[in-house]
Amino acid sequence: MNLTPQQQRLLLDAAREVIRRALSGHDEHLNVQAVADELPIPDPSDPCLLEPAGCFVSLHDLASKRLRGCVGRLDAKHPIWHAVQLTAVSVLQDPRFAVDPVRNGELGALEIEITVLGPLCDCQHVLDFDPLRDGIYLTIGENSGCFLPQVARMTGWTREQLLDRLCAEKLGLDPATWRRDPAVRLQRFTTLIIGPEPFEPSPVAVGGNEFPAC
């Protein structure tokens, strides 16, 4: 999916607004469905935002880059506008941070990133992917999990290392399972990465007045 800078800005701002709304007065008991039911509708004159696509929304600490939430949906069941908003709500309930969820007062110290996903494509071989360009979705029996290409870019892991870690961390299997299980299936997908940028953009002083940064 190709999106203009303006369309990317609209998606980022929509994700921000949904997260703010979800956390406002609901830090302890977030009602995801209630927030989802109130999601704004995109301008129908912009058909690109109505095209279905999967996506991930990630939150990191600005200073340390420590992950504070990353949740996504691989399926393209929703228009990208709604997929981003639904995922933005869900990122606040990332189960890895159940005991330390993102709080409203923390948003100014976070950065946000959206990853829009292309369609899943079957790989001819389990190593048939570009670690720096492709996201991967691994299925072995009833277990499955995925890595975005940002993982390889941040860690420098090879194809083999990525599959080892995917088996262990996301599928709960022995790291070498992908090497020997005949039921292994790998799919890859392209991505459009929007951001990362501060959740709350810093104001820029101009002539003594403060204006939001572009």
What residue spans define the domains of the chain?
A: 5-117, 121-189
CATH 3.30.1490.150 fits 121-189, yes or no: yes
**38-50 residue pLDDT tens:** 666 656 567 889 8
Candidates 211, 194, 209; CA nearest to 7 is: 194
Whether residue 120 has pLDDT greater than 90:
yes
Q: What class does CATH assign to 5-117? A: alpha beta
Write down the residue that tokens 């927030």 correspond to: 35
Query: What's the pLDDT score for residue 21?
Result: 87
Query: What's the pLDDT score for residue 26?
Result: 54
Q: Contact at 8 Å (CB) between 115 and 3?
A: no
**64-116 residue pLDDT tens:** 999 999 999 999 999 999 899 999 999 999 999 999 999 999 999 999 999 99
- DSSP code, position 48: G
**127-156 residue pLDDT tens:** 999 999 999 999 999 999 999 999 999 999
